[in-house]
């Protein structure tokens, strides 16, 4: 039932664009949802995209642009004349999307774009929204909402709705306010329809308020809307007056982005990259972590070089270097991932840090005992050396416990200092645990090998 973008579709569209066959392009794009147009534009180059944007109707062009991801949108928008941006795009967008677009420009350009926006109310909404930090509720919210006074009747309310609602795509609730426009509650359209028109709002609205203030962090906005299953949430200023609303589609994007960011950090990628991104973009995202890894590897080399004589005497000591470093890294990542995820979905519970670490200590003793016993068997069986086996299992036992506790503590500590705890997972924690594991293994090994030699 949905549109499915195929290579054939793209090839024929590109061909029509090349031939400047406006009728065929229009025909091919007619009936498509703006989200489909956005998907197509992501595959086109800037000129082709502009060609498409200027052919479809204003609303579709604006909606398609709102659907694009940040990078593609910024790229495309910057290639259009400011007047076109104002009249074809900004004026046909919801205020939050319009503010995002205008926020891409410097102040002079912003002034110029806004000067083409004839609707004063719309321009002032956008100017308002530009003031908020984009990572806050203010940065997510839009100005498209309907407010009704608690003292009105349903009939007055319906009239106000028809007056205010024209510019708003979707309305699910209206916000009920007092005479000072302070938020008192919400009223669903369903309730409004099912109530007699003479009913007073004050008697039928829902007084349970779930709202946020403009400066709430966007991750917290997402957690609140998710927890209370809201499709839209009012945003108030510091004294409780309604100044905007956040819709679930924007929050879905936040949830996806936050989850992807954690995943990227855990995988050692420092920014959003696509498989199709250029060499430059990918290298910039990947190289920093690799250089950290390189430095870590050099530190490992120094530790080993300190034991050069021991290894010359007993080269067997080198056998388990990769095993110990890998296990330290793996355990550390597991522990930190559990904490990072708990912080992200707010499920860490109410224990003190000390208790959390104590529990992790208990678990890691079990895990390290099992792993050490397995290694004991394997190592004795295959390599038949008591010194090697003893060094390996003692080191493994210590390394797993250490890596668990380290992996638990570091993200908790980062979070306390308001640093993204996801930074702790991935290359950083692997590297630290590699170094520490190696140090423990070679120190233990050199003592045991010389004792048993």
Chain residues 215-234 in contact with a copy of itself, contact rule CB under 8 A: 224, 226-229, 231
Based on its alpha-carbon atoms, the radius of gyration of the chain, rounded to whole angstroms, reads 30
Instruction: Determine, following the binding rule CB under 8 A, whether residue 322 of this chain makes contact with a copy of itself.
Output: yes
- Of 54 and 290, which has the nearer Cβ to a copy of itself? 290
Instruction: Determine, following the binding rule CB under 8 A, whether residue 98 of this chain makes contact with a copy of itself.
Output: no
Q: Residue 188 phi/psi, 5° resolution?
A: -85, 150
Q: Are 448 and 390 in contact (CB under 8 A)?
A: yes
Give the helix/strand (H/E) hosting 11: helix 7-18
Length of the chain measured in residues: 453
Give, as ranges, the residues between 281 and 310 that touch a copy of itself (CB under 8 A). Answer: 282-283, 286-287, 289-291, 293-294, 296-298, 300-302, 304-305, 308-309
Task: Sort 203 into a burial class: Cβ within 10 Å, 0-12 / 13-18 / 19+.
Answer: exposed
Instruction: Determine, following the binding rule CB under 8 A, whether residue 199 of this chain makes contact with a copy of itself.
Output: no
**Start-to-end C-alpha separation, the chain:** 75
Q: Residue 235 phi/psi, 5° resolution?
A: -115, 135
Instruction: Determine, following the binding rule CB under 8 A, whether residue 37 of this chain makes contact with a copy of itself.
Output: no
* DSSP string computed for 283-310: HHHHHHHHHHHHHHHHHHHHHHHHTHHH
Q: Give strand pairing partners of 177.
A: 149, 183
Instruction: Determine, following the binding rule CB under 8 A, whether residue 349 of this chain makes contact with a copy of itself.
Output: yes
Other Cβ atoms within 10 Å of 419 Cβ, number = 12
With CB under 8 A as the contact rule, the residue among 323, 395, 409, 414 that binds a copy of itself is 323
Give, as ranges, the residues between 254 and 273 that touch a copy of itself (CB under 8 A). Answer: 255-256, 259-260, 262-264, 266-269, 273
Give, as ranges, the residues between 113 and 172 that touch a copy of itself (CB under 8 A). Answer: 158, 161-162, 165, 168, 170-172
Site string for a copy of itself, 4-23 (x = CB under 8 A): -xxx--x-------------
- The CA–CA distances, whole Å, from 383 to 137, 310, 392, 396, 453 equal 61, 18, 12, 17, 16
Smallest separation (angstroms) from a copy of itself to the CB of 50: 20
Instruction: Determine, following the binding rule CB under 8 A, whether residue 394 of this chain makes contact with a copy of itself.
Output: no
Query: Judging by DSSP bridges, how do beta strands 212-213 and 232-236 pair with one another?
Result: parallel
With CB under 8 A as the contact rule, the residue among 383, 394, 415, 420 that binds a copy of itself is 383
- Of 298 and 413, which has the nearer Cβ to a copy of itself? 298
- Of 141 and 161, which has the nearer Cβ to a copy of itself? 161
Instruction: Determine, following the binding rule CB under 8 A, whether residue 243 of this chain makes contact with a copy of itself.
Output: no
Instruction: Determine, following the binding rule CB under 8 A, whether residue 95 of this chain makes contact with a copy of itself.
Output: no
With CB under 8 A as the contact rule, the residue among 30, 81, 180, 312 that binds a copy of itself is 312
């Amino acid at each position: 039932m949905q549109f499915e973008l195929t290579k054939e579709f793209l090839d024929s569209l590109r061909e029509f664009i090349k031939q400047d066959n406006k009728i065929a392009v229009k025909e091919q794009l007619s009936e498509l949802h703006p989200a489909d147009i956005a998907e197509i534009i992501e595959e086109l180059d800037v000129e082709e995209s502009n060609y498409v944007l200027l052919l479809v109707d204003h609303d579709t062009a604006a909606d398609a642009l709102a659907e694009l991801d940040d990078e593609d949108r910024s790229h495309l928008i910057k290639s259009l004349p400011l007047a076109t941006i104002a009249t074809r795009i900004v004026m046909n967008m919801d205020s939050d999307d319009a503010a995002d677009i205008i926020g891409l420009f410097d102040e002079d350009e912003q002034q110029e774009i806004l000067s083409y926006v004839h609707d004063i109310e719309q321009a002032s909404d956008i100017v308002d929204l530009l003031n908020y930090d984009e990572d806050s509720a203010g940065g997510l919210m839009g100005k498209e909402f309907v407010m009704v006074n608690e003292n009105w009747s349903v009939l007055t309310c319906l009239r106000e709705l028809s007056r205010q609602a024209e510019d708003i795509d979707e309305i699910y609730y209206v916000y009920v306010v007092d005479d000072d426009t302070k938020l008192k509650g919400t009223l669903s359209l369903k309730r409004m329809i099912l109530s007699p028109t003479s009913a007073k709002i004050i008697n039928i609205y829902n007084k349970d308020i779930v709202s946020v203030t403009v400066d709430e962090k966007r991750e917290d906005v997402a957690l609140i809307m998710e927890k209370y299953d809201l499709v839209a949430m009012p945003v108030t200023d510091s004294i409780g007056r309604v100044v905007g609303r956040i819709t679930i589609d924007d929050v879905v994007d936040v949830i996806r982005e936050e989850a992807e960011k954690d995943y990227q950090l855990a995988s050692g990628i420092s920014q959003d990259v696509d498989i199709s991104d250029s060499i430059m973009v990918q290298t910039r995202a990947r190289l920093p972590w690799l250089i950290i890894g390189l430095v870590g590897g050099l530190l490992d080399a120094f530790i080993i070089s300190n034991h050069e004589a021991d290894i010359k005497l007993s080269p067997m000591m080198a056998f388990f270097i990769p095993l110990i470093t890998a296990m330290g890294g793996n355990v550390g990542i597991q522990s930190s991932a559990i904490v990072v995820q708990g912080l992200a979905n707010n499920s860490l519970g109410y224990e003190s840090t000390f208790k959390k670490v104590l529990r992790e200590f208990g678990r890691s003793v079990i895990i390290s005992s099992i792993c050490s016993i397995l290694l004991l068997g394997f190592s004795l069986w295959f390599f038949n050396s008591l010194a090697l086996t003893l060094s390996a299992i003692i080191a493994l036992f210590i390394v797993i416990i250490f890596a668990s506790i380290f992996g638990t503590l570091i993200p908790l500590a980062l979070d306390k200092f308001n640093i993204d705890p996801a930074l702790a997972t991935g290359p950083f924690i692997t590297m630290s645990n590699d170094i520490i594991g190696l140090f423990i293994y070679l120190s233990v090994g050199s003592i045991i090998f010389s004792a048993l030699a």
